[in-house]
């Protein structure tokens, strides 16, 4: 009987029904969103998705590997201009440019990752900060759009849906959704693999990681390249969603870098769902303050400060602690005054 009961408990624990139901509901909602909203809202949903991809890339680097970067806006911009340039000059299909944008961003990530091996913490943050500020300056020297400004805008017809029955905004949403699901699944698989455990070990204790044979430099550079590739994909998608690649504002990609970092911190570092939740909150704040540009940075900064004090481990961490408290409060009535479990009441029927 005891063995049979233990097997039943194991079977119940092995099937997370609540997660399965929640996952199915979220999948249905995600698939129905573009058909129940207008083009403007679909654009917002697409922006959330590509922002979440960029934040997930930064999360791999900062959350799981411990390298602080404020330069991911540069990788994002490289992805955007790669796609826009290939489409406007070479007539390449948008879908083909995504892979090229990811590869070029990864190469730049390697070039930045090797010098980053010599610095840590705030020094690494300053180096990557310089990269995000320098990117628009360099772009202006090589990219000349209409009127001589560094702005490239492919024809809107180049983004027409490849699937019959889908409007352009719906198609853009589904492209972002498919890539987001694929890249988040890849991140989850990586984190739970041997390579992911090596990333976390390097973050937590480099000396101990090196003593067990982990290639510290290889892990850091590879993570930097992978993280940059995620940002490059996000930048490529932004061309389809927002209509072009722009470097006329010298602070644009610095602001993007800060937004990615805020999305990671607010959502929850070293989590898989955190970047998506942070991207949703970040986009909501931006839309609510779209008419007052001066208020948006203040609200974003306020949200970050609020999370640090109230939810130091982000939204995901706060939800986990709340769930733990609810479970513990439910378990207390089943214990006696001395902490011993009460005997179940025998039925006489």
- 341 DSSP β-pair partners: 335
**Residue 346 above 60 pLDDT?**
no
d(CA 65, CA 327): 31
pLDDT of residue 290: 64
pTM: 0.89
- The rounded percent of the chain whose pLDDT value lies above 90 is 64
Give residue limits of the domains in the chain. Answer: 42-249
Q: Per-residue confidence at 139, pLDDT binned at 50, 70, 90? A: very high
- For CA atoms 74, 77, 82, 83, the dihedral sign is positive
**Residue 67 above 90 pLDDT?**
yes
Contacts of 105 (CB under 8 A, 6+ apart): 75, 78, 79, 82, 228, 229, 231, 232, 233, 235
d(CA 123, CA 116): 9
**Residue 337 above 70 pLDDT?**
no
What confidence tens digit (pLDDT) does each residue in 72-117 have?
999 999 999 999 999 999 999 999 999 999 999 999 999 999 988 8
Residue bearing the bigger pLDDT, 140 or 53 = 53
What confidence tens digit (pLDDT) does each residue in 202-255 have?
999 999 999 999 999 999 999 999 999 999 999 999 999 999 999 988 888 998
Q: Which two tokens stand for residue 37?
A: 């909203």
């Amino acid at each position: 009987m005891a063995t049979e009961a233990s097997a039943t408990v194991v079977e119940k624990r092995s099937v997370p029904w609540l997660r399965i139901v929640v996952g199915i509901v979220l999948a249905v909602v995600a698939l129905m969103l573009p058909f129940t909203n207008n083009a403007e809202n679909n654009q917002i949903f697409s922006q959330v998705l590509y922002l979440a991809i960029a934040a997930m890339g930064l999360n791999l680097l900062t959350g799981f590997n411990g390298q602080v970067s404020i330069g991911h806006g540069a990788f994002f911009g490289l992805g955007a201009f790669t796609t826009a340039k290939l489409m406007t000059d070479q007539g390449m299909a948008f879908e083909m440019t995504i892979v090229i944008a990811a590869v070029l961003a990864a190469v730049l990530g390697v070039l930045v990752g090797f010098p980053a091996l010599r610095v840590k913490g705030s020094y690494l943050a300053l180096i990557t900060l310089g990269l995000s500020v320098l990117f628009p300056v360099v772009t202006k020297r090589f990219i000349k759009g209409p009127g001589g400004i560094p702005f490239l805008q492919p024809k809107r017809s180049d983004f027409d849906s490849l699937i019959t029955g889908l409007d352009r905004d719906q198609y853009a949403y589904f492209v972002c959704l498919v890539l987001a699901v694929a890249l988040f699944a890849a991140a989850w698989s990586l984190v739970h693999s041997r390579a992911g455990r090596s990333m976390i070990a390097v973050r937590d204790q480099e000396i101990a990681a090196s003593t067990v044979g982990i290639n510290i430099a290889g892990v850091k550079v590879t993570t930097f390249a992978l993280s940059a590739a995620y940002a490059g994909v996000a930048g490529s998608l932004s061309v389809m969603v927002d209509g072009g690649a722009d470097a006329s504002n010298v602070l644009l990609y610095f602001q993007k870098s800060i937004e990615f970092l805020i999305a990671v911190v607010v959502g929850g570092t070293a989590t898989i769902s955190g970047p998506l939740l942070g991207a949703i909150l970040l986009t909501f704040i931006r839309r609510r303050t779209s008419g007052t540009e001066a208020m948006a940075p203040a609200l974003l900064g306020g949200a970050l400060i609020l999370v640090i004090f109230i939810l130091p481990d982000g939204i995901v961490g706060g939800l986990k602690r709340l769930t733990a408290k609810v479970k513990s409060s439910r378990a207390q009535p089943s214990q006696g005054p001395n902490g011993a479990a009460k005997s179940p009441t025998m039925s006489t029927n």
